[in-house]
Amino acid sequence: MNKKTTIYDIAEKLNITAATVSRALNGNTKISEATRKLVNDTAKEMNYEQNKLALALKSGKSFNIGVIVPRIDSNFFASVIRGIEEELYPHGYHVIICQTHDQENLEIENINSLLNAQVDGILMSISNAKLETSEHFQKLLRKGVPLIFFDRKKDIPGVSSVTIDDFKGAYDATKHLINQGCKRIAHLSNNREMQIFKNRYLGYKQALIDSGIEFDESIVIETMSKVLEGRKTTKLLLNMNYPPDAIFSSSDFTALGAIEEIKAHGLKIPEDVSVVGFSNEPFTRFMELSITSVDQSPIEMGRIAAKVFLEEANNSKKIKSEKRVVLSPELIIRDSSLKLKN
């Protein structure tokens, strides 16, 4: 077995002390930039690998961060994770990704597993399950582990969050449909016990009221963010005596299902029924009939969530801060809703 290179080997080769090598490898600014570069270049040349466990024991940090999402087979959550990684990697952190599949028991298991892995913090988007308890979040706070919510959050004192203005996103989407001449706009919602879906519902409702259009609860349907569910709920809407002439969906996946069902009924989009989704998934712009959607700036959301974590992690005074960052959404107008073209 080949002998592993140590800092003493590097020190001997460069004729400097092991302490200087250690400080240079750890980026100590008291060591000149030229020396730091020389040490790092030599370490690379000699295939030196730092002992991560020793560093963790010395610093009290594992330099591992837990990221919990409902699912990773979504461009939105994948993009958020990308933003988190891009922000944290230069600071020496590595990301451990967990999925809840929108199940509370998996959310609790993920948190416990990450705590056992000694992560330095957890960034998460909560599950869509109707949470019976917040004890697993309180456990993190008692242990002093930074917790930052992104996208889906729960209001807990002392916990920071990074979201978008879901109310405004839904309001703008509904106003756009109204400006295109739509009079009877249905809403495919999701679990409104969750703030993001409640706010999208409220934004939709307010846009109707502000435009003098009567709000009709019978064309608001709560469903899961799946293509098949979009088809099922749209079929119910189209079979009504007075069907809608537009659909605003809280999800691009349900919007896609709605489009499939509208076409199956022999109707034209957007002439007969206009459709707007939410999240700006990649498929919305690449389809033959591109889909109007609300963009949530996921990469920026991930970057900012990571920055909020770094602020908390580097707070030497251990003063608990609570940040509520709200990003502005952008409506991306495409073929599925554009009736009036310039």
Q: How far is residue 148 CA from its own chain's centroid?
A: 11
Helix (H, G, I), strand (E, B) or coil at 316: coil
Q: What is the pLDDT of residues 50-101, one digit of tens each?
A: 765 556 555 567 889 999 999 988 899 999 999 999 999 888 889 999 999 9
β pairing state of 274-279 and 292-295 = parallel
Residues 6+ apart with CB under 8 A from 77: 69, 70, 71, 125, 151, 298
Local structure of residue 294 (DSSP, 8 states): E
* Rounded distance between C-alpha atoms, residue 299 and residue 332, angstroms: 17
pLDDT band at residue 22 under the 50/70/90 scheme: confident
Q: Are the C-beta atoms of 308 and 150 separated by less than 8 Å? A: no
* Higher-scoring residue by pLDDT: 2, 277: 277
Mean pLDDT of 24-51: 84
* Rounded distance between C-alpha atoms, residue 150 and residue 163, angstroms: 6
Q: What is the pLDDT of residues 166-206, one digit of tens each?
A: 999 999 999 999 999 999 999 999 989 889 999 999 999 99
* Rounded distance between C-alpha atoms, residue 119 and residue 64, angstroms: 5
What pLDDT was estimated at residue 189? 96
Mean pLDDT of 281-295: 94
For 161, 192, 219, 258, the CA distances from 76, given in Å and listed in that order, are: 17, 20, 27, 20
Mean pLDDT of 21-45: 86
Strand order in the sheet with 246-249: 220-222, 185-189, 246-249, 274-279, 292-295, 330-332
Mean pLDDT of 155-161: 89
What pLDDT was estimated at residue 52? 59
- First CA to last CA across the chain, in angstroms? 73
pLDDT band at residue 28 under the 50/70/90 scheme: confident
Helix (H, G, I), strand (E, B) or coil at 143: coil
Helix (H, G, I), strand (E, B) or coil at 67: strand
Q: What is the pLDDT of residues 313-336, one digit of tens each?
A: 887 665 567 899 999 999 999 999
Is residue 58 classed exposed, middle or buried when 0-12, 13-18 and 19+ CB atoms within 10 A define those classes? exposed
Helix (H, G, I), strand (E, B) or coil at 334: coil
Q: What is the mean pLDDT of the chain?
A: 90
Cis status of the peptide bond prior to 270, with omega within 30 of 0: yes
For 74, 146, 342, the CA distances from 122, given in Å and listed in that order, are: 20, 6, 47
What pLDDT was estimated at residue 205? 98
By C-alpha distance, which of 146, 110, 142, 145 is closest to 126?
A: 110
Q: How much of the chain exceeds pLDDT 90, in percent?
A: 64
Cis status of the peptide bond prior to 157, with omega within 30 of 0: no
pLDDT band at residue 154 under the 50/70/90 scheme: confident
What pLDDT was estimated at residue 3? 72
pLDDT band at residue 1 under the 50/70/90 scheme: very low
Mean pLDDT of 235-260: 97
- Is pTM, for the whole model, over 0.85? no
Mean pLDDT of 218-222: 96
Checking if the pLDDT of 296 tops 90, the result is yes
pLDDT band at residue 157 under the 50/70/90 scheme: confident
Lowest mean pLDDT among 23-27, 140-144, 234-238, 240-244: 23-27
Q: Which tokens is 338 given? A: 């554009």
Checking if the pLDDT of 342 tops 60, the result is no
pLDDT band at residue 140 under the 50/70/90 scheme: confident
> How many C-beta neighbours within 10 Å does residue 320 have?
14
Q: Are the C-beta atoms of 92 and 61 separated by less than 8 Å? A: no
Half-sphere exposure of 115 (CA within 13 A, CB side): 18
Checking if the pLDDT of 284 tops 90, the result is yes
Domains and CATH numbers, the chain: 7-50 (1.10.260.40), 62-163+298-328 (3.40.50.2300), 166-296 (3.40.50.2300)
By C-alpha distance, which of 332, 43, 338, 18 is closest to 182?
A: 338
* Rounded distance between C-alpha atoms, residue 163 and residue 147, angstroms: 14
